[in-house]
Amino acid sequence: MKLEKLIITDCVSLEEVFHLQGLNIEETYVVDSQLRNMTLGRLPTLKHVWNNDFNENISFKHLQHVHVWECWSLKTLFPSSIAKDLRQLESLKIKCCGIEEIVSENVKGSNQQEIWFEFNQLSILKLWNLPNLLHFYPRVHNTTWPVLKNLRTCQCGKLKIFGYGESQLQRPLLFIEMIIPQLEAVSLTADDVAMISDGQFARFPYLEKLHMVSCNLKELSPYEGDVSEERDVVMMLPRINMLTLQGVDEMTHLGEQGYPLHHICANLKTLRVYQCDSLINLSCASSYYRNLTTLDVWDCKEMVGLITSSKAQCLEWLIKFRIRECEIMREVIVSNGDESTHHEIIFRKLKCLELYCLQNLKSFCSKNITLKFPSLDEVTGTNCPTMENFCGGALSTPKLQMVQQMGRPWAGDLNASIEQLNTQGTDLSNVESLDVQRHPFPYWFPVLLRLVAGNQATSSGLGSACGNEFDCLDVLGYLEAHNEWIFEGCDEDPVNIWNNAKDITTSCSLQQHQPLN
């Protein structure tokens, strides 16, 4: 079997991938499959990847990357006879599936008392939105994950992710004392935080990326009341350079008293705030911002303004600044009455500014404050229909030559270009080519949606790949199947992108076409 890469998507009748039953292979002979990469996506009737009576004389030991998504009829992924040989597996990503167990028990191995799964090369494990997941393997087993660095888990049914080595009624996927010391990136839910408590965060010596999902951040603080003790906590996670807060509960201000962000923000370079519906703004200590190079805010429904002018002074190292889908945001930089002392803000390093789907945004900064962007050379503005100007004061952007918005020329300066887009709108009829490999994902995707919704699919650069007639859901499947380059350089988790994009594309498709099944 010489096949090395397998991608299957949008086969609505497919029930089984490898049907190897009945092959005439001698018991003393083993056939080695050369398959290394396998991607299975949007297969609504898929029940088995390997058939139940799988011939154990066929080995898939060369598998390195497995990605499975939106296979809701799939109850299990690997037979145990295959899983126990996956010593070369490097990444396993499963999301939005009906899986109940990742490894199933072989019929022939039902009398086996204990089995070892040695994932000696696995560095990336992502399990996301698996509501039916019960366990990794249904019988007594042991696992080893000696090089696991990146762990992303959320909504994993009844599967317990973290636990301790002592005997437990339900075996966890990972033992805290063995796995935590080696992690460099991890996502934590409220249950995970509750399990990793009492100062256990000190055991993350190499953690660089932390993703908090649907948590109450107050539970992160191992100490209460003693300021001297809290000062020592800063040393617990000294390597954290990327923090993602998603669905954080009951927090109206990022620096609100009682939330221990100062424990982990000392060396922060990337801050991403997603779907924090109670958050009003990012008001917090200036020290949080001093080392930031990337700031990304998405879908915070109550956020009217992002940051005060005094705090914006601290963003001198910021390189990329992105704000998306904050429905009621009116300004990015807001006033707190300090303009007399902060009449000039210089974003010395900022190169890229992206504003997407901000329906009520009037201005980046409406006050009479001088804004200077000496390094800015890329501004993207998409679906900000009420934006009147960029700023109310003086503006300096010596390197900027265009606003990334399809169909309109540069008007000479940023303020004039924003005003032109607001008064004239965006004309897509002149778009002859949309080069999706040249521009980053967030730039062209809203444009692509409009092309498809407006029946202008043939003018898209994807026309030759998807055919001249396709709808939004076809595009989504095509992009997911080719995500090697779609997500290159994109710092957002593809799970978030696809969950969000699917809502948009489904709505778009229902208006223009019959929905795909």
207-254 pLDDT, tens per residue? Answer: 899 998 988 766 555 444 443 344 444 445 667 899 999 988 777 777
277: pLDDT strictly greater than 70: yes
Bigger pLDDT: 288 vs 397: 397
Average pLDDT for 476-484 = 45
Q: Which residues, 6+ apart, have CB-to-CB distance to 297 below 8 Å?
A: 272, 273, 274, 282, 303, 306, 322, 323, 324, 326
Q: Which residues, 6+ apart, have CB-to-CB distance to 464 below 8 Å?
A: none
Q: Specify the pLDDT at position 235.
A: 43
**Helix axes 441-453 and 472-481, enclosed angle (nearest 10):** 150
pLDDT in tens, 361-408: 999 999 889 999 999 999 988 888 899 999 999 999 999 988 876 446
Task: Tell me the range of 281-285, 288-292, 488-492 where mean pLDDT is highest.
Answer: 288-292
461: pLDDT strictly greater than 60: no
Buried-state track 214-237, b at ≥16 Cβ within 10 A, e below 16? ebebebbbbeeeeeeebeebeebb
> pLDDT tier at 121 (50, 70, 90 boundaries)?
very high
Q: Specify the pLDDT at position 290.
A: 83
100: pLDDT strictly greater than 60: yes
17: pLDDT strictly greater than 50: yes
Q: Specify the pLDDT at position 51.
A: 78
Yes or no: say if 393 and 364 are a contact pair by the CB < 8 Å rule: no
**How confident is the prediction for the chain on average, in pLDDT?**
76
494: pLDDT strictly greater than 90: no
74: pLDDT strictly greater than 90: yes
> pLDDT tier at 260 (50, 70, 90 boundaries)?
low
Length of the chain: 517
Backbone torsions φ then ψ of 150, nearest 5 degrees:
-120, 115
Of 48-52, 329-333, 425-429, the least confident:
425-429
pLDDT in tens, 158-208: 899 988 766 555 788 998 888 888 899 999 888 888 887 655 566 778 889
Burial tier of 151 (Cβ tally within 10 Å: 0-12, 13-18, 19+): buried
Average pLDDT for 73-81 = 94
Helix, strand, coil tally for the chain in percent (to 5): 20, 25, 55
pTM score, two decimals?
A: 0.79
Q: Specify the pLDDT at position 481.
A: 45
Report which of 78, 74, 71 is spatially closest to residue 104, judged by C-alpha positions.
Answer: 78
> pLDDT tier at 255 (50, 70, 90 boundaries)?
low
Bigger pLDDT: 410 vs 347: 347
Bigger pLDDT: 226 vs 7: 7
